[in-house]
Structure 1
């Protein structure tokens, strides 16, 4: 039996697709990401994104919780002082921009709903693949923050069919500038924990974890250094992470998540929800914007 994309994903929990984008296509997305970074929000709208210490703060911020239908800016923890003033080179201050680039930005929309994405979805067996969210990840030199080990299904829970992430390297991703690391085969061990809406409707915390964060042995992780233009498909249950970028090279990436809409439940407890201004659009039927 040939080793198809679907077979690889079911076996390993990830698939590396080299030359998914050309260098020129990557440069177009890089230019779009840099253009967005030149239009930073005002001081009172600056929100830090971190998967380590600041996550509880994000869980009670409308800016984060209502970013499903917007192009929202999230800063690195070390880029802002206590007053919200930028303390690093402004072009290196962002962690990411999300979560509706695929809906609202013509260039990102074009690549998200491209024929090559449709082809991958067909090869994976999706019947009604829909895009739930998208992010431009900066991972800037020196300040690019750590992303702790996690499963994407913790945040975007669907059953019985898990979400699939498309993670596209817009620059070479190396061990030095913080490439992805995965635990091969970990998608077969179930859902380790979930982020759900708090049952305490009167509290100021909107989201809570149902379990403590699991501890994964460092020796179980495999680095995935890839060249510019490579797409890594990430099974929603596979454990993955990336380190702090302490190098002098950035590691920009564009990522989005596909969910199956047919005979599949998208949890009403997920932080991100479909709405009138943020529909989960079908990849097969949504045209590109050129």
Structure 2
């Protein structure tokens, strides 16, 4: 399934599309399961935690957000809540469900730990791949917020960086409903120079519990290019990545990518998770932390 051509494209461009990663039947089964998860959402038992999609320097995460690594938690579109009340029906308010689907949900656990995923990790050179931050992202019609330009290793940092994103389309993802946009080859020219970290009273006595961004010494990933890099170009433009349902988009952790708002009448459901190299240090500064007795999941 993951050919040498796929690997060459990924190494060159920082992303690659693997078409028909899932069959139509698999897509339909997963969509039905997601619909059940959406229907199970009870706003009366929820803190109405929204998921902000801005790049504010100070992003205060609630405890609900910080404790989501091993749970099935619901995060709402900012435009779905006004004065602590939903402005749309509950199932249409959800921005994403995460971040422990690969642990707690049998459907997504099976998908994430499937042989095709392991094959890709092996071919990319991962020695001890660990899974984290699994999410269903709904990109709701009309209110699906934009995701600004970012690099995944900013949020899931190892030293050296090793994050790789698996982004699986569960509907046709088009320009009209907020598909991915990437800056090809940016993984070769843009090192990781900042991190989103968890604030704590231990490290910052004056800080509120939550998350923040900090600058770090720029560092490049070692995979799969063994540290090869290029000079940054004056201007690098993003391009849309339109894909059909069932396609996998593989994203290098240094690749610049984003998605615009969904202003259409059609949703844009996807399932995504990330792997990191377990042999590299994943430290306590990372915002996403597992419970003390719960190590990062082996692929």
Who is 2:78 aligned against?
Answer: 77
Q: Alignment partner of 1:28: what SS? A: helix
Give distance in 2, aligned partners of 1:202 and 1:274: 24
Instruction: State yes or no: 1:265 paired with 2:281.
Output: yes
CA-based RMSD of the aligned residues comes to 2.2
Who is 2:207 aligned against?
Answer: 203
Q: Alignment partner of 1:194: what SS? A: strand
Q: Alignment partner of 2:121: what SS? A: helix
Q: 5 Å matches for 1:76-155?
A: 76-83=77-84, 85-155=85-155
What stretches of structure 2 of length at least 5 have no aligned partner?
Answer: 217-232
Aligned positions, number: 276
Once the two structures are superposed, residues 136-172 of structure 1 have per-residue CA deviations (whole angstroms, 9 ceiling, x without a partner) of 0001111111101101111100122411000000000
2:167/2:273 contact within 8 Å kept: yes
Instruction: State yes or no: 1:45 paired with 2:61.
Output: no
Q: Alignment partner of 1:226: what SS? A: coil
Who is 2:165 aligned against?
Answer: 165
1:76/1:145 contact within 8 Å kept: yes
Give distance in 1, aligned partners of 2:35 and 2:12: 37
Q: 5 Å matches for 1:271-282?
A: 271-276=287-292, 278-282=294-298
Q: Alignment partner of 1:220: what SS? A: coil
> 1:6 Cα deviation (Å)?
3.1
> 1:248 Cα deviation (Å)?
0.9
Who is 1:288 aligned against?
Answer: none
1:136/1:253 contact within 8 Å kept: yes
Who is 1:63 aligned against?
Answer: 64
Normalised by the length of structure 1, the TM-score is 0.89
What stretches of structure 1 of length at least 5 have no aligned partner?
Answer: 284-290
Q: Alignment partner of 1:145: what SS? A: coil
Q: Alignment partner of 1:234: what SS? A: strand
Once the two structures are superposed, residues 30-54 of structure 1 have per-residue CA deviations (whole angstroms, 9 ceiling, x without a partner) of 1111111112243452100022178
Who is 1:286 aligned against?
Answer: none
Instruction: State yes or no: 1:15 paired with 2:16.
Output: yes
Once the two structures are superposed, residues 37-94 of structure 1 have per-residue CA deviations (whole angstroms, 9 ceiling, x without a partner) of 112243452100022178845x3410001111110000001111112x1111332110
1:200/1:87 Cα in 2 relative to 1: closer, same or farther (>3 Å)?
same
> 1:220 Cα deviation (Å)?
0.8
Who is 1:237 aligned against?
Answer: 254
> 1:279 Cα deviation (Å)?
3.0
2:165/2:250 contact within 8 Å kept: yes
After superposing the two structures, state which structure 1 stretch, 45-54 or 11-20, moved more. Answer: 45-54
2:55/2:148 contact within 8 Å kept: no
